[in-house]
Amino acid sequence: MLVLDTETTTDARQALTIGAFRFCRDIGERYVCIEEGLFYADEIEDFQSDGLAILRHYASKRAAETPNG
């Protein structure tokens, strides 16, 4: 199963700003997260300054919730 969560701009265009994904496998009667990650749209200029720094800080402080961390 692939799970996506995205954030977009609030204008009518609703352009992608950031997102997260999880790839999970069905193991018996439950799903186990095999891989997860974050992504962002590089054409969003105002996100490049503060937003990217915040995203990188978050990623550096948080371990993946996968069997191998």
Question: In a 3-state reduction of DSSP, which class is residue 60?
Answer: helix
Residue 42 pairs in a beta bridge with none
pTM score of the predicted model:
0.73
Would you call 61 helix, strand, or coil by DSSP?
A: helix
By the 8 A CB rule, do 51 and 58 touch?
Answer: no
What pLDDT, in 10s, does the model give residues 6-57?
988 888 988 888 899 999 999 888 899 999 998 888 776 555 567 777 788 8
Round to whole Å and give the CA distance between 44 and 65.
Answer: 28
Assign 55 to helix, strand or coil: helix
